Amino acid sequence: MEQEYARGHAEDERTSGSEARERADRRDRAVRAAVAQGLLGPEAAVVGLLDVTGIRESAAALRAAFDAVTAPGTPVLHAFAVKATPLVPVVRLLHEAGIGAEVASPGELALARAAGVPPARTVLDSPAKTPAELREALALGIAVNADNPQELDRLDALVHSAPTRSPLGVRVNPQIGGGTIGATSTATRTSKFGVALRDEGARAWVVRAYAARPWLTRLHAHTGSQGIPLPLLARGVAEVYALAEEINAAVGLRQVDTIDIGGGLPVNVATEETAPTYAGYARLLAAEVPGLFDGRYGLVTEFGRSLMAKQGTVVARVEYTKTAGGRRIAVTHAGVQVAARTVYMPGAWPLRIAAYDAAGRPKTGPETVQDVAGPACFSGDLLAEGRALPPLEQGDYAAALDTGAYYFAHHYAYNSLARPGIYGFAPDGTGGVAFAAVREPQTIAEVVTESGGAHASALTTLRAPESR
């Protein structure tokens, strides 16, 4: 069995090798075409690019991976964690590729609806749902996972006040520990998410809560995101499966009929290869938790980063180059505004950088150690520090790779830096590259409006009544 797993894994590595080369090739051609077509240049000094072919491939890989390990006829909903890339055209593209939506705020739900994702393919998971959000979700028939006992009280009231088609469940925290990044570890002892299963009396409370509510038919856990090792992810899934079995045994029927295993597959940001793969993860789960795949349970998954990270690139023009203290520095237009996590926590969130010349062609040749800096006014605004790259020159481009999730769609408005345009790219059918605007670049007028421009004298005219 172990050998079989190892063999399958090696095959995955090989397929991902050629897939990786093709993806890098598509990206290089897109950067070149973006410069040639003027999407990128002196007046558009930073853009986000999304590889439409790559997004389709990753959606297909996810579906195929779980199809290969589930009993025929098992209902499987892959719900894209919208927070990873909250862009309506991306959610629409994934929806057309057979992927639903996992949402965690009124904004994300509205994006999913704008993208045309039907309620039956949407899951709501936030830890702070208001009464109005819950009411709307149940009126629409969207699946809801209650985060805590107080939220379950609210669901009790709603379920008794009006009939709903929403599949309802509870999120649990298996408390099996964290990974290498604290901020994305959700199954720690004191995590804010879900019902902490190992706290005294909690497990028995969950079983009683299901026994008292025949409409609780789902069970949910999401063990974490980047930095969680695969065996720990698999353990989280095993824990939630064991609890479902315990609940069903206690109530004497198959009340829990669907298990939501969350997302969290880590992304390799060290090289171009996709590793781990969905196929490898699905096979690991099938080996570790076989009962989950024998057809008795429907499945929901909630992958975000692994669907999108490798399909996106931030490309920024090198405005100036300089040296300081013997260190070479390329000052670019991509920094904290498009890569907040990397800039503030470079150890936890490193990014690969690719160097392109002024025509958008990959730069080759001897490498020099240099910093790739952003435009913001604090010294830590670096995309990469002390990185060996072909020397970047004024007018060249630096690309931050694997940024299709949790980067350029998570703009951080430091220094009132405008949100860059985001463009999807695909082959144009005649050997070139076609682009489509996913999000227009923010104008400076919009920056002013967003910053209270319509209320310029709001504070100077505000007086306490007695001083008027």
Ligand X SMILES: *Cc1c(COP(=O)(O)O)cnc(C)c1O
Residues in contact with ligand X by the rule CB under 6 A: 81, 83-84, 102, 125, 222, 225, 262-265, 302-306
Q: Which is nearer to ligand X, 340 or 434 (CB)?
A: 340
Q: Pick between residue 262 and residue 390 the one whose CB is nearest to ligand X.
A: 262
Q: Which residue has the tokens 């809801």?
A: 144
**Run of H or E including 427:** strand 421-427
Rounded distance between C-alpha atoms, residue 300 and residue 454, angstroms? 45
Task: Give the chain's count of helices (H) and strands (E).
Answer: 12, 18
- For ligand X, the closer of residues 16 and 186 by Cβ is 186
In 3-state terms, what secondary structure has residue 294?
A: coil
Cα–Cα nearest to 299, from 405, 136, 143: 143
Measured from the CB atom, is 227 or 421 closer to ligand X? 227
Q: Are 241 and 24 in contact (CB under 8 A)?
A: no
**Residue 50 C-beta: closest distance to ligand X, Å:** 16
Minimum CB distance to ligand X, residue 130 (Å): 18
The answer to whether the beta carbons of residues 302 and 102 sit under 8 Å apart is yes
In the complex with ligand X, which residue's Cβ is closer, 236 or 335? 236
Q: How far is the CB of 173 from ligand X (least distance, A)?
A: 11
The SS3 of residue 95 is helix
Give the 3-state secondary structure of residue 71.
coil
Residue 44 DSSP symbol: B
At closest approach, how far in Å is the CB of 193 from ligand X? 7
For ligand X, the closer of residues 263 and 420 by Cβ is 263
> Cβ closer to ligand X: 81 or 334?
81
Cβ neighbours of residue 445 under 8 Å, at least 6 residues apart? none
Question: Could you give the angle at which helices 131-140 and 106-114 cross, rounded to 10 degrees?
Answer: 30
Task: Classify burial at 214, counting beta carbons within 10 Å of its beta carbon; exposed 0-12, middle 13-18, buried 19 or more.
Answer: exposed
Q: Take residue 318 and report the two structure tokens written for it.
A: 């090198």
Strand 327-332, strand 368-373: pairing:
parallel
Q: Can you say whether the dihedral through the CA atoms of 132, 138, 144, 146 is positive or negative?
A: positive
CB of 155 to ligand X, least distance (A): 17
Which C-beta is closer to ligand X: that of 239 or that of 381? 239
Residue 1 CB, nearest distance to ligand X (Å)?
27
- Per DSSP, 467 falls in state G
When computed from its CA atoms, the radius of gyration of the chain, rounded to whole angstroms, is 24
> Closest CB to ligand X among 304 and 390?
304
312/360 with CB nearer ligand X:
312
Instruction: Return d(Cα 138, Cα 300) in angstroms, integer.
Output: 18
Contact 381, 400 (CB under 8 A): no
The pairing of strands 258-260 and 368-373 is unpaired
CB atoms closer than 10 angstroms to residue 161: 10
Distance (Å, whole) CA 87 – CA 439: 8
In this structure, the dihedral spanned by the alpha carbons of residues 99, 105, 108 and 109, taken in order and rounded to 10 degrees, is: 70
Residue 48 or residue 360: which is nearer to ligand X going by CB? 48
